[in-house]
Amino acid sequence: MDKINLAEAFSRINEFWSPQIAGELNGQQLRLAKLKGEFVWHHHENEDELFLVIRGRLIIHLRDKDVELREGEFFIVPRGVEHQPESPGEAWVVLFEPAETLNTGNLENERTKRNLGHI
């Protein structure tokens, strides 16, 4: 049981859109990711997904609206809702979701990360 310093943990992430596990509790994972540019449209059939912005800005595109998140704000994408995250510049984001959740949800492609590293 060690405490985690978020700034230090984010400094060890060198790849965009590649979540790293910072902690696990009750079958859930706290994941850290650096994001930049657009991700793919996808949804998570059985899992809700929380995005908490630590640094920068994140836009969650939904089919009927866009949700803009700034530092200190979070948004929960309900299960089954198609979304596309986008960060115009570099964003540091905390994700909270079940351990079995794939970053690309219902899609499997070159951006899918199956074996996440630990910070």
Q: What is the pLDDT along the chain (119 residues), one digit of tens a residue?
A: 789 999 999 999 999 999 999 999 999 999 999 999 999 999 999 999 999 999 999 999 999 999 999 999 999 999 999 999 999 999 999 999 888 876 666 667 666 666 777 88
CA distances from 106 to 2, 75, 79, 96, 118 (A): 34, 20, 11, 18, 23
* Domain 6-98: CATH superfamily, name plus number: Jelly Rolls (2.60.120.10)
Domain boundaries, the chain: 6-98
Model pTM above 0.85: yes
